[in-house]
A and B are shown apart, each in its own frame.
Chain A
Amino acid sequence: MAHEETVYDALDSAHGGEGQWAFGTGFDDPLAGVDTTVPDGVDPADLGAYCLMLGDDALVLAQRLTQWVTAAPELEEEVAVGNIALDLLGQARLLLARAGSAGVLGRSRERASATIPDEDALAYFRDADEFRSTGLVAAPNGDFARTLVRLLVAATVRLAVFARLRESRDPVLAAVAAKGVHELAYHRDHAARWVLRLGDGTPESHRRAQAGVDAVWPLLADVFSPTDVESRLAVAGVAVDPATVRDEVVGVLTQVLDRATLRVPGWPADAPPRGRAGAHGPELAELLGTLQGLARQHPAATW
């Protein structure tokens, strides 16, 4: 290590000193050695539907965050938001693949060619009404402050769910959650730091942050009500009932907003699940148009 040819040689931890730092080193496969059989007494259709819910949340939020690439206020923040989107995309990929292996593919297989993997078929060849993401992640970004407020809320909810999901009886969900909690803790931390600085910053940044909070809070009505699938799987020890994370989420968000000198709006009453039931506004279809356009126009394309 004392004779590095370039500064990056010292950062290379694998490949016998071949210096391939640019391609990354020392990666782990999060599902290496994980048993992928569906646990006893669990309906594969339920398990697949639940994986779609968690996977679609990640996929849709990743796509929203990606909209900031080339438009973020600073280059460094652009990379940060892009990293977070990629973390979520990785979670989505594992979860959609799990849904596919459980046989939950919806109408996607009618459109996707056989060479396309399950997770890609689910991402690119389902219409909006087949998506199971909540309204929290589908809503437009708004300005930078509102985007970071939404990220704070979404990461707080997801971290609370994933922390419990580590104990899931489904080994794949447990492994995905164990990997995800580290990522989500960072996402929540990053968003909270920005909300603190914007809320307790200049009059203009405070105004925008408060407007962001006021715009995002009503979206929480679509977050905590369990679907029948989630209720059944929660009883079976596989899923997390979102109602059980409500107190933790309220506590964390209240603490951050208080410190950011932002007013906590009234908490919306829980409504029957909309997004989880496939009921979405036009904003999701518009988002998916961008996400899916290339794959649908050129189904055999590789890149």
Chain B
Amino acid sequence: MSEVTAEGGHGAVPTGPEVPVAPERAVSRRDWPLYEVFVRGKRGLNHVHVGSLHAPDDEMAVHAARDVYTRRNEGVSIWVVRAADITASSPDEKDPLFAPSGDKVYRHPTFYEIPENVPHM
């Protein structure tokens, strides 16, 4: 195993000071962006969030997602999106955003008889 050294493994994408960082900044492995991964199963109706990973670019993120999250035959379609591109609700806003719907029982269609042949209800 002497040929599999940390130097060999970690040196392929250099991060040291000898790498020119301007004007085109080299993307070092420490800078690999975080991606969120969504997978749709064979009979799944929608893509489901399954986890996240780091990748150097969008294409390699799809590849890595294939290897990390679909290696047990879970999926037939993959979406990846940079975590930084997701706009999320803030925990601070939780009450104003979600509490008002907590007592509006009339918003649920529970007062109707649902015909048996209506799917996905």
Do A and B form a real pair?
yes
Q: Which residues of A approach B to under 8 Å, CB–CB?
A: 1-2, 4, 7-8, 10-13, 21-27, 67-68, 71-77, 79-80, 83, 140-145, 190, 193, 197-198, 201-205, 208, 290
Using A22-B72, A80-B67, A198-B12 as known contacts, list a sample of 13 further A-B pairs with CB atoms less than 8 Å apart, ordered by residue number in A.
A1-B44, A2-B120, A8-B48, A11-B74, A67-B3, A67-B4, A74-B54, A76-B67, A79-B68, A140-B3, A142-B3, A204-B11, A205-B12
Whether B13 contacts A13 by the Cβ 8 Å rule is: no
User: B66-85, CB under 8 A of A: which get 1 and which 0?
Assistant: 01100111110000000000
Contacts of B60 in A (CB 8 A): 193, 197
B74 pairs with A8, CB closer than 8 A: yes
Annotate B1-41 by CB proximity to A: 1 below 8 A, 0 otherwise.
Answer: 10111111111111000111000001001001000000101
Q: Does B45 contact A (CB under 8 A)?
A: yes
Q: Can you show 19 pairs from A to B with CB atoms below 8 A apart?
A: A1-B46, A7-B49, A8-B74, A11-B39, A11-B41, A12-B41, A13-B73, A67-B1, A71-B4, A73-B9, A75-B54, A80-B63, A140-B3, A142-B8, A143-B11, A190-B63, A193-B59, A197-B56, A201-B26
Q: In the bound complex, how far is the Cα of B66 from the Cα of A80, in angstroms?
A: 9
User: By the criterion CB–CB under 8 Å, are B11 and A7 in contact?
Assistant: no
Instruction: Output the least CB separation between A47 and chain B (Å).
Output: 31
Do B8 and A193 touch across chains, with their CB atoms under 8 A apart?
Answer: no
Question: Which chain A residues border B55 with CB–CB below 8 Å?
Answer: 76
Residues of A within 8 Å of B49, CB to CB, are 7
Across the interface, which residues of B come within 8 angstroms of A141, CB to CB? 3-4, 8
Number of B residues whose C-beta is below 8 Å from A?
A: 46
Residues B53 and A76 in contact, CB atoms below 8 Å apart: yes
- Min CB distance A291 to B, Å, is 12
Known A77-B64, A79-B68; judge A7-B48 contact (CB<8 A).
Answer: yes
Closest to B2 in A: A140
Are A205 and B4 in contact, with the CB atoms below 8 A?
no
Given contacts A10-B48, A202-B26, contact A83 B41 (CB under 8 A): no
Q: Which residues of B contact A208 (CB under 8 A)?
A: 11-12
Q: Which chain B positions have C-beta within 8 A of A73?
A: 9-10, 12-13, 29
Cross-chain contact A26 with B42 (CB below 8 angstroms): yes
Q: How far is the CA of A204 from the CA of B18 in the complex (A)?
A: 9
Residues on B lying within 8 angstroms of A by beta carbon are 1, 3-14, 18-20, 26, 29, 32, 39, 41-46, 48-50, 53-56, 59-60, 63-64, 67-68, 71-75, 120-121
Contact B32 A74 (CB under 8 A): yes
Do the beta carbons of A71 and B54 come within 8 Å of each other? no
Q: Which residue of A lies closest to B72 (CB)?
A: A24
A238 to chain B, nearest CB (A): 31
The answer, among A7, A23, A71, for a CB contact under 8 Å with B9, is: A71
Our pick among A13, A67, A72 for the contact of B41 (Cβ within 8 Å) is A13
Residue of A nearest to B61 (CB): A76
Nearest Cβ on chain B to A205's Cβ, whole angstroms: 6
Query: Which chain B positions have C-beta within 8 A of A2?
Result: 45, 120-121
CA distance A290 to B45 in the complex (A): 46
Known: A25-B73, A83-B71. A7 touches B14 (CB 8 A): no
Report chain A residues within 8 Å CB of B18: 204
Known contacts A8-B50, A10-B41, A80-B67; A74 and B29 CB within 8 A of each other: yes
B-chain residues with CB within 8 Å of residue A290 when the two chains form the complex? 1
Whether the Cβ atoms of B8 and A143 lie closer than 8 Å is yes
Complex interface: chain B residues within 8 A of A26 (CB): 42, 73
A202 close to B19 (CB less than 8 A): yes
Between B7, B26, B73, the greatest number of chain A beta carbons within 10 A of the residue's beta carbon is seen for B73
Closest Cβ of chain B: how far from A7's Cβ, in Å? 5
Q: Across the interface, which residues of A come within 8 angstroms of B26, CB to CB? A: 201-202
- C-alpha spacing A205/B68, complex, angstroms: 25
CB-defined contacts of B12 to chain A, threshold 8 Å:
73, 143-145, 198, 205, 208
